[in-house]
Amino acid sequence: MLKRKNLISLATAASLATVPTYGVAGNDLAKALAGAAVAGAIFCGATGKCTRNKPAPATTTTRAAPKPSGISSAQRTENKSVQQALNGFGFNVGTPDGALGPKSRAGISSYQAYMGYSPTGYLDDYQRGILLESYNRMNAGGGAAYPQVVASEGTKGLLKAFNDPNYPPRATAATAPVPPAVAPPVAPPPVAQAQAPQVPSTLPSVTQAAGRTLPALPALTPASASMSERCEVVQLMTQTNQGPILAASMTDRNQALSEQFCSARSVSITAGQSTADTYQLAPEAIAQSCTLVEETMAPVMAKLQTGAPADLAAEAKALNAKLAPDAETAAAFGKVCIGMGYREDAPETSLSGALMMVGAGLGPYGELVGHHLREGFGTAQNEKQAERWYVEAVTALEQNQQPAFLPSSSGERMAVIRSALMLDSEEASNAGSGTLLPTLVKQ
């Protein structure tokens, strides 16, 4: 479990920087950060007051309220988020107040029973993650892809639709006339026709021709080269297609990978804010800390175009040690900076946070590095390098690392990425290794 005092030490170091950090040497930044962290640790050790004092107990005899005794403000914030999500999906728990009383426990039990979990009334991390991630996706407009589910089951149906690719179809007979009308603009034939002259000239296998190279992205002009604008376009295409592209029906590889980027972006914004709330990090401290992270990770970001993912992860790990006292602290700030970068459309900040996560040993976050390289956000567009990072992320999941985004649908998400890159299971088995296409990693 991440120690809160470590996070506060790093945030304190950032807040002590009274002069602009731009132009300051990386070692000086690290020394300033380390000095502040040590000072904070000494203060905590000497005083024994590393946490807020609890208020004095009330002397009056009042009836016990549903609020747990001694609940922290961070926990209350998280509880409020749970209550808001429960209400949003139709499990009415009343006004969100951050206190999980009997009504909230009943709502949690109803949610658990609906999702097939044991209805204990108490959420584990996995169940809470599914609830909050799905709520965030619904608020981002994801429910528009499942009109029939909402019409028949209400918003709670989105919990299953978002997290189960085999849930009832996104469109029914009532919407059958729509696909022919919208199919021509979004179907892949134009791309295939553009590539057709190349195929007869060399006649390599289809796998060799297309499986080793990502589809080219449409050019993004400076006026529209923002992550938020990109995801708005992707979402409109998803709605036109009546749902996200799945591995079993890969019709547009570029759109499929962009959908995965935008879903990860949306989830990361919520996760970053939740982490910041948990450790009571002020916006100013977050901004200053993420500036330090971005500047410290600059040497790794400069090598993204040519460096091997494993080598860059090792370098990021060494830089993490200059910023944070342990990997857990580094991972927490990485998550906060990823979320802040996506929220404020600052791609370099999100990318540096993702590298910090990889340096902390969380390989699945390499997916974000792949997305940034493929889309050209925060670094030059480089499809081949993007492919290497995608493979690293999939391999990390195969080695049973914890999924970085939407854990309940991580299998489908990785299947979509593999299908988009034509990394099918037959190729993987022919590679003669337990990992995914090791030849790609070597290139």
* Per-domain residue ranges of the chain: 73-139, 247-442
d(CA 224, CA 141): 21
Query: Under 8 Å CB-to-CB from 173, ≥6 apart: which residues?
Result: none
**How many beta carbons lie within 10 A of that of residue 289, not counting itself?**
27
pLDDT the model gives residue 20: 36
Rounded mean pLDDT of 8-34?
41
pLDDT bracket for residue 346 (50, 70, 90): very high
Higher per-residue pLDDT: 197 or 287: 287
pLDDT at 235 over 90: no
3-state secondary structure of 171: coil
pLDDT bracket for residue 204 (50, 70, 90): very low
Rounded mean pLDDT of 181-195?
37
Q: Which of 43-52, 142-151, 311-320 has the highest mean pLDDT?
A: 311-320
pLDDT at 295 over 90: yes
Phi and psi, residue 122, nearest 5° = -125, 125
pLDDT at 348 over 70: yes
- CB-based contact 372:378 (threshold 8 Å): yes
Query: Under 8 Å CB-to-CB from 243, ≥6 apart: which residues?
Result: 145, 146, 170, 171
Mean pLDDT over each residue of the chain, to the nearest integer: 73
Tally of residues, the chain? 443
User: What single letter denotes the amino acid at residue 438?
Assistant: P
Higher per-residue pLDDT: 142 or 154: 154
User: What single letter denotes the amino acid at residue 10?
Assistant: L
pLDDT bracket for residue 166 (50, 70, 90): low
d(CA 441, CA 189): 31
- CB-based contact 26:295 (threshold 8 Å): yes
pLDDT at 390 over 90: yes
**Closest to 195 in 3D by CA, of 213, 221, 182:** 213
pLDDT the model gives residue 125: 81
The rounded percent of the chain whose pLDDT value lies above 70 is 65
Q: Which of 143-147, 154-158, 221-225 has the highest mean pLDDT?
A: 154-158
- CB-based contact 54:68 (threshold 8 Å): no
pLDDT bracket for residue 75 (50, 70, 90): confident
Of 24-28, 133-137, 230-234, the least confident: 24-28
pLDDT at 303 over 60: yes
Alpha carbon 222 to its chain centroid, in Å, reads 25
Structure tokens at 71: 């609940």
pLDDT at 405 over 50: yes
pLDDT at 59 over 70: no
d(CA 242, CA 182): 10
Q: Which of 113-127, 171-185, 249-263, 349-363 has the highest mean pLDDT?
A: 349-363
d(CA 230, CA 127): 30
Long-range CB contacts (< 8 A, 24+ apart) of 312-318? 312/355, 312/358, 313/358, 313/359, 313/363, 313/366, 314/359, 315/359, 316/355, 316/356, 316/358, 316/359, 317/359, 317/360, 317/361, 318/359
Structure tokens at 76: 């209350």
pLDDT the model gives residue 224: 40
